[in-house]
Amino acid sequence: MKKLLVVGLVGLAMVACTKKEGQEGAVIKIGAAGQLTGPEAVFGSDMLNGVKLAVEEWNAKGGVLGKKIELVPGDDQAEPRQAVAVANKFVTEGVVGVVGHFNSSCSIPASEVYHKAGIPQISQACTNPKLTDQGFDNVFRVCGLDDQQGKAAADFAVQKLKVKRVAIIHDKTTYGQGFAEEFKKNLGTGVEVVAFEGIAKGEKDYSPVVTKIKSANPDLVFFGGIFTEGGLLIRQYKAVGGTAPFIGGDGIMSEELLKIGGPATEGTYATFGPDTKEIPSAKGFNENYRKKYGEPGVYSVYAYDAANIILQSIQKAGAADGKKITPEIRAIDYNGALGHIQFDAKGDVKESPYVVWKVENNKFKQVK
Could you say which of 47, 55, 95, 232 contacts other proteins (CB under 8 A)? 232
Could you say which of 59, 186, 207, 315 contacts other proteins (CB under 8 A)? 207
Return the residues of window 105-144 that contact other proteins according to CB under 8 A: 105, 108-109, 112, 128, 130, 134
| Residue 200 contacts other proteins per CB under 8 A | yes
Going from the C-alpha of 117 to that of each of 85, 131, 283, 294, the distances in angstroms are: 14, 17, 36, 36
Return the residues of window 296-325 that contact other proteins according to CB under 8 A: none
Specify the residue, 55 or 95, whose C-beta has the smaller distance to other proteins. Answer: 95
Residue 282 is classified by DSSP as G
Whole-angstrom Cα distance, residue 181 to residue 76?
27
CB of 229 to other proteins, least distance (A): 10
Return the residues of window 6-45 that contact other proteins according to CB under 8 A: 7-8, 11-12, 15-16, 18-19, 21, 37-42
Burial class of residue 186 in the structure, from the number of CB atoms within 10 Å of its CB (0-12 exposed, 13-18 middle, 19+ buried): middle
Which residues on neighbouring strands pair with residue 99, listed in sequence order?
Answer: 32, 122
What is 66-84 written as a DSSP string? TBEEEEEEEE-TT-HHHHH
| Residue 260 contacts other proteins per CB under 8 A | yes
Of 202-210, 272-280, 322-330, 351-359, which segment contacts other proteins by CB under 8 A? 202-210
Return the residues of window 139-198 that contact other proteins according to CB under 8 A: 172-174, 176-178, 197-198
Q: How many chain residues bind other proteins (CB under 8 A)?
A: 77
Please give the angle made by the CA atoms of 320, 345 and 355, to the nearest 5 degrees. 100
Backbone angles phi, psi at 168, to 5 degrees: -120, 130
Q: Would you give the distance in Å from CA 10 to the centre of its chain?
A: 44
Of 46-54, 73-81, 296-304, 335-343, which segment contacts other proteins by CB under 8 A? 73-81
Helix (H, G, I), strand (E, B) or coil at 325: helix
CB of 97 to other proteins, least distance (A): 17
| Residue 81 contacts other proteins per CB under 8 A | yes
